[in-house]
Amino acid sequence: MGVSAGDVKKLREASGAPMMECKKALEEADGDFEKAFTVLRKRGQAAAAKKAGRTTSEGLIGTYVHPGSKIAVIVEVNCESDFVARNEEFAQLAHDLAMHICAADPKFIRKENIAPEILERERAILREQAAVSGKPPAVADKIVEGRLGKFYEENCLYEQRFIKDTSAATTVGELIATKIAKFGENITVSRYARFKVGERASWDGSENGPER
């Protein structure tokens, strides 16, 4: 079916994907905006996977100070070229990620960054909770894995729902994937620090966890 230029423009603004990709996605989804957006997200993730091993030695520092100046975040967002690093949209991404970290307070960048002993400790807690419920072992194991997914979503930056997406449908990882697809370069978050007045700890996103 044919799609209108207005729909293509709307999808372009929502996804950040190139116009032709938006047109193709809408045609594939028979004009359904939500389905087309899902198609673009999947393609973005595929593009991100292909570029995941590429070196990101450029980038910039994003900052955010919450009103009242009680909480502040510094985040390093990397890309492959200085050309992309100087792009206004890339700078906005870095700022948005700093703002997200300020609000969501992630403890890890990715779930792969979680130290094995921390992950096993969390699994042990969840197993004990499942055992108390009296569920059969096979069911308890599924419960543990489901709750572990929730743990990732709450504590890992890439798994968290992006705070500026009011529908809560896009994760930070998916947001970054759409930018990778748009710029054609690998983009990564390498480290961050979150400061809050009155707290000793300054979490930098490393695998060892925050000091208390």
**Domain 1-51 class in CATH:** mainly alpha
Is there a contact between 178 and 44 (Cβ–Cβ < 8 Å)? yes
Structure confidence by residue, pLDDT tens digits, 71-98? 999 999 999 999 999 999 999 999 999 9
Q: Is the pLDDT of residue 210 over 50?
A: no
Gap between the Cα atoms of 124 and 71, Å rounded: 33
Q: What is the mean pLDDT of residues 31-50?
A: 78
Q: What is the pLDDT of residue 209?
A: 45
DSSP-derived letter for residue 109 is S
| Confidence at residue 16, expressed as pLDDT on a 0 to 100 scale | 64
The C-alpha atoms of residue 172 and residue 89 are separated, in whole angstroms, by: 16
Locate tokens 């968290």: which residue? Answer: 160
Handedness of CA 50, 90, 202, 66 (dihedral sign): negative
Q: Is the pTM of this model over 0.95?
A: no
For the chain, the structural domain boundaries read 1-51, 55-114+156-212, 115-152
- Flag the least confident range among 62-76, 124-138, 171-185: 124-138
Q: Give the tokens for residue 195.
A: 């400061």
Task: Write the class of the CATH domain 115-152.
Answer: mainly alpha
Domain 55-114+156-212 CATH (choose: 3.20.20.70, 3.10.20.30, 3.40.50.620, 3.30.479.20): 3.30.479.20
| Higher-pLDDT residue of 168, 182 | 182
Residue 211: its pLDDT value, please? 38
3-state percent helix, strand, coil for the chain, nearest multiple of 5? 55, 15, 30
